[in-house]
Amino acid sequence: MNVITKCIFTTFALLILGLSSFVVSAQSPLLKEQIETIVTGKKATVGVAVWGPDDLEPLLLNPFEKFPMQSVFKLHLAMLVLHQVDQGKLSLNQSVTVNRAAVLQNTWAPIMKEYQGDEFAVPLQQLLQYSVSHSDNVACDLLFELVGGPQALHAYIQSLGVKEVAVVANEAQMHADDQVQYQNWTSMKAVAQLLKKFEQKKQLSETSQALLWKWMVETTTGPQRLKGLLPVGTIVAHKTGTSGIRAGKTAATNDAGVIMLPDGRPLLVAVFVKDSAESERINEAIIAQVAQAAYQFELKKISAVSPD
């Protein structure tokens, strides 16, 4: 390649890069407008975080609001448990004894139907799988006991540099008092930061990262949320959170995760719907529509810089 050819090639490459940057900066306000259109008129407070693979910072809606996490915090908890596994403090193969009469009753707990008897043993790895993939509340609280409770989880998340978040209660404590769920809160920025740290694969060992990714992809809850309007077969590693309904309002309908784009890059999306007087169908539709808008936005960016 001669000097002239090199100059032409370099100029062309810079032109394409500049065009890409222009498309990103020119279209970003349009994505925010799309998202605002989706949530306008809804009888709820909606928080959104969208962090595309080319973005230095996430796009945020209602950035200063404190949103109850509900079971989204099971992602945070799984990261701490696996961190302790990586440190040698815990083992995926160790058995955890479950006393049926001593655990939280009348709650979402598929693991309690899987096992029979008044007392039984469950491998730690299976507790993690049930907590993450199936959002099992009993499995969650057993994991809390192993790592030192909500305070230990709060300290761990803070140590990662994710500051706008608080964990003060486990599932049993939230069940005992409906208002406690608001004390387990996060900002949308903090959700995005945690997803970024998870997606960057720097916090956990390769084995632990692969397991957590697998469990999040296999999530059985909230199929009509982030995944609801995406193309069939799109890989989504996510964690949902859902409250009950009280006085006609749903405190939390949440989903946060990593959506894999067709070019193999990650798109981080979190949508939290707080204190909603809408139906469950509408709450979930809000999440699905935001995810769809973010996904299509990224597809347009890809096609804008791809050769025909």
Tell me if 291 sits within 8 A of 259, measured CB to CB: yes
pLDDT at 17: 39
Among residues 20, 28, 71, 91, the one annotated as catalytic is 71
**Is 71 noted as a catalytic residue in this protein?**
yes
Cα gap 69→191, rounded to integer Å: 9
Cα gap 48→281, rounded to integer Å: 18
Residue 271, sorted as left (phi over 0), alpha (psi -120 to 50) or beta, turns out to be beta
Task: Give yes or no for residue 15 having a pLDDT over 60.
Answer: no
pLDDT at 303: 86
Cα gap 40→28, rounded to integer Å: 18
pLDDT at 26: 38
pLDDT band at 308 (very low <50, low <70, confident <90, very high): low
pLDDT at 105: 97
pLDDT band at 306 (very low <50, low <70, confident <90, very high): low
Residues 26-69 pLDDT 10s: 347 899 999 999 999 999 999 999 999 999 999 999 999 999 99
Where is average pLDDT lowest: 17-31, 147-161, 235-249? Answer: 17-31
Task: Give yes or no for residue 222 having a pLDDT over 80.
Answer: yes
Mean pLDDT of 148-155: 98
Residues 281-299 pLDDT 10s: 999 999 999 999 999 999 9
> Which residue is it, tokens 């989706």?
38
Q: What amino acid is encoded at 137 in this protein?
A: N
Percent of the chain with pLDDT over 90: 88
The rounded radius of gyration (Å) of the Cα atoms in the chain is: 21
Q: What amino acid is encoded at 89 in this protein?
A: K
Task: Give yes or no for residue 13 having a pLDDT over 90.
Answer: no
pLDDT at 103: 97
Stated length of the chain: 308
Task: Give yes or no for residue 14 having a pLDDT over 80.
Answer: no
Cα gap 214→173, rounded to integer Å: 29
Helix axes 150-159, 137-147, angle to 10 degrees: 70
DSSP 178-242: GGGGGGSEE-HHHHHHHHHHHHTT-SS-HHHHHHHHHHHHT--S-TTSTTTTSPTT--EEEEEEE
Cβ neighbours around 77 below 10 Å, total: 27
Cα gap 19→44, rounded to integer Å: 38
Residues 229-266 pLDDT 10s: 999 999 999 999 999 999 999 999 999 999 999 999 99
pTM: 0.90
pLDDT at 302: 87
Task: Give yes or no for residue 223 having a pLDDT over 70.
Answer: yes
